[in-house]
């Protein structure tokens, strides 16, 4: 299947690491604020909505996307639908915008662009330990600890 993937910044230094694709919805929003006695304000806002845990992060821009042809089993299914993701992006944008401007009214919000895209999590082995690496920040996590292979309870979206 063909999917849009956020441009990986980090990759482990091992040959041919495996990967899993984690679902996001990216929004470029424009907020229009009316103000009494002052000029109106317009802001651009980029929201990255996690389609697994329904969290939102503000981005500096719309990340570069690549089209990958992958096996369906490498793609995590989203648990959040488009309407929920849009609502979360709007809430996040309003909270951010209201911290920058004083207005009697909520902003009018226009969706400039939206895409469903996936973040790459690399899966590999190093020094006998199975690890997973976030391709956008380079942080490594023990996959065995997350999946319960070390006897602890499984935590995280990788548990199936």
Domain boundaries, the chain: 2-9+23-118
- At 54-104, the pLDDT tens digits run 999 999 999 999 999 999 999 999 999 999 999 999 999 999 999 999 999
pLDDT number for residue 1: 95
pLDDT number for residue 160: 45
pTM of the model: 0.87
Q: Is the pLDDT of residue 45 over 90?
A: yes
Which DSSP string corresponds to 77-118? PPSS-HHHHHHHHHHHHHHHHHTT---SSPPEEEEEEEEEEE
CA distance 90 to 110: 10
A 10 A CB-CB count for 130 gives 16
């Amino acid at each position: 299947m063909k999917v849009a993937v956020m441009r990986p910044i980090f990759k482990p230094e091992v040959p041919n690491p495996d990967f899993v694709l984690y679902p996001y919805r990216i929004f470029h929003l424009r907020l229009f604020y009316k103000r009494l006695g002052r000029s109106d304000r317009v802001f651009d806002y980029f929201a990255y909505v996690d389609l697994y845990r329904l969290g939102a992060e503000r981005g500096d821009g719309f990340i570069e996307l690549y089209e990958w042809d992958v096996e369906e089993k490498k793609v995590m299914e989203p648990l959040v639908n488009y309407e929920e993701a849009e609502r979360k992006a709007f809430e996040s944008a309003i909270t951010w915008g209201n911290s920058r401007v004083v207005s009697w009214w909520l902003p009018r919000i226009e969706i400039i662009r939206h895409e469903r895209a996936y973040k790459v999590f690399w899966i590999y082995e190093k020094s006998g330990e199975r690890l997973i690496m976030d391709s956008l920040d380079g942080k490594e996590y023990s996959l065995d600890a997350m999946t319960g292979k070390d006897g602890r309870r499984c935590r995280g979206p990788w548990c199936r």
